[in-house]
Amino acid sequence: MDMGTFGSMSIRIYGAALRSAAAEAKAILLEMASEQLKTPKAQLRVENGVVFAISDKKMQVTFAQLAKGQKITRKLDQKSRIEISFGITIIGTSPMRFDVRAKVTGKAQYAGDIRFPGLMYAKVLRPPAHGAKPKNADTSAAEKSRELSLLKKKD
């Protein structure tokens, strides 16, 4: 059951599984890089999506070059314990937030703040009791807008 991602629950609930999947993907990409660079995995390092030889940083390949725009379907040869502590640089820290001022002053833009010419709003009306029916609803603006859009399509 999906409980949402509110209150920073994403990392607590899904973090370990995502880190494990990322570690497995990294291990597979390292295998591929090792084959392409003809260098043992132990002599390779990864930084920002680039795999390079420790002895010669010019001998490198990016994750994108390894994938070649294709889905990678390779599986690990052996299901050994995968190191998942690699590259954790943000979790557990308090990085500088550049969006705070806009949020505090009310200047931040959210999806609900987007406005388009002729934009209309809708509201879901819930009846106060089971089986209740609405008495009336003024839909003239919506109908007029629909008629105008149909006329524009004919031109």
Q: How far is CA 5 from the centre of its chain?
A: 12
What is the rounded CA–CA span in Å between residue 58 and residue 147? 63
pTM for this predicted structure: 0.50
pLDDT at 102: 92
pLDDT at 82: 59
Task: Report the relative pairing of strands 44-47 and 60-62 from DSSP bridges.
Answer: unpaired
Helix, strand, or coil (residue 82): coil
Q: Which residues pair with 61 in a beta bridge?
A: 51
What is the rounded CA–CA span in Å between residue 21 and residue 27? 10
Beta strands in 42-108 (DSSP E): 44-47, 50-53, 60-62
**Are 117 and 139 within 8 A, CB to CB?**
no
Question: Which mean pLDDT values do the consecutive 10-residue runs of the chain (155 residues) have?
Answer: 61 78 87 94 91 94 91 75 59 81 90 82 82 84 72 61
Q: Which residues pair with 53 in a beta bridge?
A: 44
Cα dihedral value 144, 146, 148, 154, nearest 10? -150
For the chain, the residue count is 155
